Chains A and B, each alone.
Chain A
Amino acid sequence: MTVRESILRYGASPWHRIDVYQPPQERVQSRVVLFHGGFWRHDRIARDLEPMAVALVGDGSAVAVVEYRPVWDGGWWPGAQDDCTAALDALAEQDAGWDTAVLAGHSAGAQLALAAVAGRSAGRRLVLLAPVVDLERAAALGVGGSAVPHLVSRHLAAGGRCADATPRPTAADLSALVVVEAAADQAVPTELVAEQLAQWSAAGLAPEHRVVPQARHMHLVNPERAAFTTVRELLIATAGPVS
């Protein structure tokens, strides 16, 4: 399999980088943009999603993995969120085909993916894997330890509220919303996923919900794990043909 690799830089920080993996031009059937998790502090980084990206290239997808600033290096809210919005703009500027790519966010990366499209009325298609999006509830449940308090610390110090950091997309922002839950997720409790689904349903987003039996948190983005088969199928189905 041939994988064409490139790096697209979208800002001054070394973290402002998008790792792009593509099959030969004639084989590009769909496009996927990935946002890694790691609780905004980079317990995980973009290169950790390289095996997933390469697996998707094997299916004919062009894949962009967005790196962004961690909390401790300028990514405190809304820094990382602004980065991800800028990354999407940079991709579209390079090739308009990325404008219709499916966006997939894992864990905290789901919050960033949703934030990057909220309010843009662009009808994007999103797949959220073990999502941590409602930051007030995530903090109350202790998800990621002190990750949420660190993310919003400067915003709170400036008089803001934690709830401000929770993206609230409308039906105009999304044309598809698929939520994948790992049944044995040790990092994201099912209670949080259920509450977020209820919120999105109430907002008229009609989320499609899939639960992958026996899967743990990282299994959803690991091509060596059985759970990835479900994720792969959903991404292909949601992505549709390349425009």
Chain B
Amino acid sequence: MTETVVNPADQAVSEQDAVAFMDSLPAVRWDDLEAAAEVTEAIARRLGEDRPLLRALVERIRRTPELREKCECHALDDKLVLWDEPEKGLRIRLRLANTDQYERVHNHRFSFTAHILSGAYQHTLYATDQPLDETADVSRFWPHFVREEPTGSCFTIHHEQLHTTITEPETISLMIQSPAAKRRAFIIRKADGQVWWREGAADETAERRAEVRMSDERFDHWVARLEAIGVL
């Protein structure tokens, strides 16, 4: 039987080969979350095991303006967008956790699969019995699932699922997300109950886009850190 070939760490992958590989990935049907989970978790593990391929994809971001523009910095984490193919249900990015962490119960505009490449998540799922708006009472979000997601863990959650992920500093995860299922996602800070929303880039102001865009210096910092951590 033919063996699965994973590139050895010292063998570079050309940009052309990386793109050909990514082009060969399947369309993901996010309306069937179980099927989407099976396929996206396999894709995430395949990418996570292949450092030369990941390195080629990260380096390609520099030369691909439509991806570079989507690399962002936020309070809790930064992101590098590796691949964006919404017609196949595939936006693939690296989530790079910053050192400052606080607990905020939130859902997402999209369903997604996360594969922890380095570090760990303290992952808690929540239930509530109230509308998700500015009147939400922070005391009425009840944790019903708590576990640590260690390096190597992979999970898929629906965009409506409320959760928190407290990460160790420099936790790196590979995320595969669906196209947006709603225009804004709910966030409430556990410490004081402040509610706010996260919108998609299309709904953000130019000022906001400029504010979150990752600088070249920050991009270089993350590439160096990814190499040092051993993800690339």
**Which residues in A have some Cβ–Cβ distance to B below 8 Å?**
11, 13-15, 38-39, 41-43, 45, 47-48, 69-74, 78-79, 82-83, 86, 146, 150, 153
Contact = CB atoms under 8 A, between A and B. Distances in A.
Contacts of A45: 35, 38-39
A11 B1 contact: yes
Most buried by B among A14, A45, A71, A146: A45
B21 A83 contact: no
Q: Lowest 8 A-B CB distances belong to which pairs?
A: A74-B4, A150-B24, A79-B2, A41-B26, A42-B26, A43-B26, A72-B24, A43-B27
A94 to B, nearest CB: 18
Nearest to A39: B26
A89 to B, nearest CB: 10
Interface residues on B, range: 10 to 19
Nearest to B25: A72
A73 B25 CA distance: 9
A72 B2 contact: no
Contacts of A70: 26, 42
A43 B38 CA distance: 11
B228 interface: no
B5 interface: yes
B38 to A, nearest CB: 6
Contacts of A39: 26
A48 B2 contact: no
B1 A83 contact: yes
5 contacts: A38-B26, A41-B25, A72-B46, A86-B1, A146-B23
A52 to B, nearest CB: 14
